[in-house]
Structure 1
Amino acid sequence: MRILEVSKLYPPFWGGIETVVYDISTVLKQKDYDVDVLCVSESNHSSREVMDNVNVYRCSSIVHMASTYISFEFIKVWRSIRNNYDVIHVHLPNPLALLAIFLFRPRRGCKIIVHWHSDIIKQKFLKIPFIPLQNSLLSNCDKIIATSQVYANSSLDLKKYLNKVAIIPIGIDDKRMSIDVDRIKKIKNSYPGKLIVFSLGRHVYYKGFDYLIDAAKYLDDNYIIIIGGQGQLTSSLNEKISKYDLSKRVKLIGRINEEDVSSYFYAADIFCLPSIERSEAYGVVQLEAMACGTPIISTDISGSGVSWVNKHGVTGLVVKNKNPQELAKGIKYLSAHPFEKEHIQKYFMENYTRTKMVDCLIEVIKSA
């Protein structure tokens, strides 16, 4: 069986969707499926390369705006290779892929599987011209994969197509979160005597870091909140920390090297995902915390899968959305009532490995 994974980008760009596409492609290849990836390059150069035994077509782009790439090369390559496959697995949102598939349909008999990662929430103006293309694909595809039933049920885009929806939770590589004892010790020693609350993500509006910083007002100096990542709101977050004199309780540490990420999860007593909008459709970063046995505090976002992933009372706590006092209350509770790391890791292994995700995908493909 020949499978084409259609993605916006692909590693070494490690975005959320790109990581899922990488994990799916890698495991499918390990299971002896013939897998290629079609994606856009962040540069103006096209290439065809092999990454971890997977053939990757990277297509040059000419414009990048509002999280969307314009690439004539992508459409050209799609047209030339689309009929070589038994399965087209397209990951959305991706307006460029919608256009390419609308212009040049795959051959008759080829199965089309849509992987619906999230609705377009913020750039709704961008979505309007692509709605007919999106509806065409959803009408003609064989199956639609959603990452949680909660998200699928709340999606207006999927409302007419729920009969096609199959639920496959995102999984990650259980071996990715390696233990570096010296690095973990160094992180802990940087904050002696402190209970470490770790958070990680792009500094953008829907991540809710404003609320996590506000939560520090209700904690004492025995707690330290470490926020990794960077983004358009980094400056304003730093200003807020200074304005409320919270520098002893909140640290923005910038981008964390990939090899150091797991050490921060292991060093942390609590991981907090304070996201506030459905743009956070799933919260893959919660799986990384689970793999390390770190209890999670997440928020109850209406229509999002975040609180479905973090099972309240099993892997952590789910608290009210946009509520700093509730975040602080949850942090205090977990510090006084720590969860067993082994129980969290066991739940992760039973539900959220990438191998389990791909096994479910194969079943969906076979049944489509």
Structure 2
Amino acid sequence: MLKTLNYRIIHLSKYYPPDRGGIETHVQTLARSQAALGAEVHVICVNAFDQHGHFSNRTQTVNETDCNVQVTRLGRFLSFARFDFCPKVLSNLCRLLNEPNTLLHLHTPNPTMLLALTLLPRRLPLVITHHSDIIKQRILKYVLRPFEYLVYSQTSRVLTTSSQYIQGSKLLRLYRHKLSILPLGIDFLNYIELNQLAVDFSQYLKAKYGETIWLVVGRLVYYKALHIAIEALTLVPGTLIIIGTGPLEQELKALAKKLGVNDRIVWLGHVSEDELIGAYQAATSLWFPSNVRSEGFGLVQVEAMASGCPVINADIPCSGVPWVSRHEQEGLTVPINDSIALASAAKRLLYEPGLRTKLVIASRKRSEYFNQETMAQRSFELYEEVLSQESNYIGIAKPVNL
């Protein structure tokens, strides 16, 4: 095992839990795992909630500690077109950059932090995890492109969560000489060593909605393609439980009513981590119909697999989604935007003898590949390579073995 190194890591994330999302969950898991292995870890992100816990465009800066991770949630003055205006972002960054062995780890897409990096007074060791390209927001994409080129050209290493994503990304292909693969990870013991709250919630869902439960987890946004899941429900028995909120909620509810399945859909909104794990345990399958490359990995797939909940995902071209849960190995993969194919795959899990049991066993084994300790140790290997190039950075010392 790699020896722990004396690192000072600053993760630049857009948001951080309890804000839910694949990137947010990944940053928290990675930061906690790195801190547990002895690194000094900070996270700088945007504070999206006011003091009452309500979403707000105007917030205050808050400093917290999360399992030995120092978290600075920057107050924002305004949020517009997916860009958060945070007046104190640069001052907070500069305050943390004066110690040896400091390394910045940017998680993109992240317009606020990306622009802040272009204003730093000196170059520092920088690693970028490129979670996905900006797909739909064309104006934002072209406005940010010069800044992306500047920051990506200065970074020491660009990480992608799967090799599949590189083929479809013009931006990543420009930096092939800097690319490394670092898949996302989870603390999978949370999903196999259940506490009583998760067990109770799982039993509650089964008692109330029966043995056939289909589950969707994610923000209610365009690329999650929840309309495909709702259409598929018209062709299969059971109840669809949707965990998540987002701007398309009312539109999706209207579609469910139009198709006559609104009485078989449960909209749970935000849930606790224990309730989420309980939902995975109760579900017959996780439906993951995301249809564009804004979905680069799909971390909830790993959570479901660790819980023994097979995944039905969509074959998004040049995305890591169908690589995480592989067709006929750990789950079933269907064409994008095909509700009939999604329903047919769901019926296979219900009626094909032995199929679901086989996929449950394979899913749990596959999930171990994405464990958080392996991810953290691999990140240290990459950091060591970057920090060893100390001649490129003023005042940055080589790592010191503990």
TM-score range, shorter chain: over 0.9
TM-score (norm 1): 0.93
Q: Stretches of 4+ moved more than 6 A in 1?
A: none
Measure, in 2, the Cα distance between the counterparts of 1:144 and 1:13: 25
Query: What is the CA distance between 1:264 and its match in structure 2?
Result: 0.7
Q: Out of 182, 189, 198, which is 2:200 matched to?
A: 182
Measure, in 2, the Cα distance between the counterparts of 1:95 and 1:356: 29
Check the 8 A contact 1:151/1:305 in 2, yes or no. Answer: yes
Query: What is the CA distance between 1:182 and its match in structure 2?
Result: 2.8
2:362 aligned partner: 343
Structure 1 residue runs of 5 or longer lacking an equivalent are none
Measure, in 2, the Cα distance between the counterparts of 1:54 and 1:213: 40
Deviations 1:58-104 (A, max 9, x none): 22111112222111201121133223353111111112212221111
Check the 8 A contact 1:316/1:339 in 2, yes or no. Answer: no
Query: What is the CA distance between 1:325 and its match in structure 2?
Result: 0.6
Q: Secondary structure at the match of 1:82?
A: coil
Q: Secondary structure at the match of 1:64?
A: strand
Measure, in 1, the Cα distance between the counterparts of 2:174 and 2:43: 29
2:379 aligned partner: 361
- Which amino acid in structure 2 is aligned with residue 322 of structure 1? N
Deviations 1:185-213 (A, max 9, x none): 22111123x42211111111111111111
Cα distance change on mapping 1:215 and 1:91 into 2, 3 Å: same
1:32 aligned partner: 38
Q: Secondary structure at the match of 1:36?
A: strand
2:397 aligned partner: none
Check the 8 A contact 1:36/1:55 in 2, yes or no. Answer: yes
2:309 aligned partner: 294
TM alignment of 1:228-267, pairs within 5 A: 228-267=243-282
- Which amino acid in structure 2 is aligned with residue 186 of structure 1? Y
- 2:209 maps to 1:191: yes
- Which amino acid in structure 1 is aligned with residue 39 of structure 2? Y
- 2:309 maps to 1:283: no
- 2:372 maps to 1:333: no
Q: Secondary structure at the match of 1:279?
A: coil
Structure 2 residue runs of 5 or longer lacking an equivalent are 1-6, 51-58, 387-402
Q: Out of 287, 291, 296, which is 1:272 matched to?
A: 287
1:3 aligned partner: 9
- 2:116 maps to 1:97: no
Coordinate RMSD, CA, aligned: 1.7
Check the 8 A contact 1:35/1:55 in 2, yes or no. Answer: yes
Measure, in 2, the Cα distance between the counterparts of 1:182 and 1:60: 37
Measure, in 2, the Cα distance between the counterparts of 1:238 and 1:55: 39
Query: What is the CA distance between 1:176 and its match in structure 2?
Result: 2.9
Query: What is the CA distance between 1:245 and its match in structure 2?
Result: 1.6
Deviations 1:306-363 (A, max 9, x none): 11111112210011110011001100112222133333212211x1111121121111
Check the 8 A contact 2:212/2:239 in 1, yes or no. Answer: yes
Deviations 1:104-142 (A, max 9, x none): 1545xx421111111111222112222121111111111
Measure, in 1, the Cα distance between the counterparts of 2:204 and 2:331: 25
1:204 aligned partner: 221
Deviations 1:28-53 (A, max 9, x none): 11111111122222253123332211
Q: Out of 154, 166, 175, which is 1:161 matched to?
A: 175
2:396 aligned partner: none
Check the 8 A contact 1:295/1:339 in 2, yes or no. Answer: no
Q: Secondary structure at the match of 1:148?
A: coil
Query: What is the CA distance between 1:259 and its match in structure 2?
Result: 2.4
Check the 8 A contact 2:21/2:219 in 1, yes or no. Answer: no
Q: Secondary structure at the match of 2:257?
A: helix
- Which amino acid in structure 2 is aligned with residue 167 of structure 1? I
1:49 aligned partner: 64
- Which amino acid in structure 2 is aligned with residue 148 of structure 1? S
Check the 8 A contact 2:334/2:341 in 1, yes or no. Answer: yes
- 2:28 maps to 1:15: no
Q: Point out the more displaced range, 139-148 or 256-265.
A: 256-265
- Which amino acid in structure 2 is aligned with residue 16 of structure 1? G
- 2:234 maps to 1:217: yes
Query: What is the CA distance between 1:248 and its match in structure 2?
Result: 4.8
2:102 aligned partner: 86
TM alignment of 1:112-191, pairs within 5 A: 112-177=126-191, 178-179=194-195, 180-191=198-209
- Which amino acid in structure 2 is aligned with residue 102 of structure 1? T
- Which amino acid in structure 2 is aligned with residue 165 of structure 1? L
Deviations 1:164-198 (A, max 9, x none): 11011101111333353332222111123x42211
Check the 8 A contact 2:325/2:363 in 1, yes or no. Answer: no
Measure, in 1, the Cα distance between the counterparts of 2:118 and 2:103: 16
Give the count of matched residue pairs: 362
- Which of the pair has the greater relative contact order for Cα pairs under 8 Å at 6+ separation? 2
- Which amino acid in structure 1 is aligned with residue 185 of structure 2? G
Q: Secondary structure at the match of 2:319?
A: coil
Measure, in 2, the Cα distance between the counterparts of 1:240 and 1:39: 35
Query: What is the CA distance between 1:223 and its match in structure 2?
Result: 2.4
- Which amino acid in structure 2 is aligned with residue 203 of structure 1? L
Cα distance change on mapping 1:236 and 1:130 into 2, 3 Å: closer
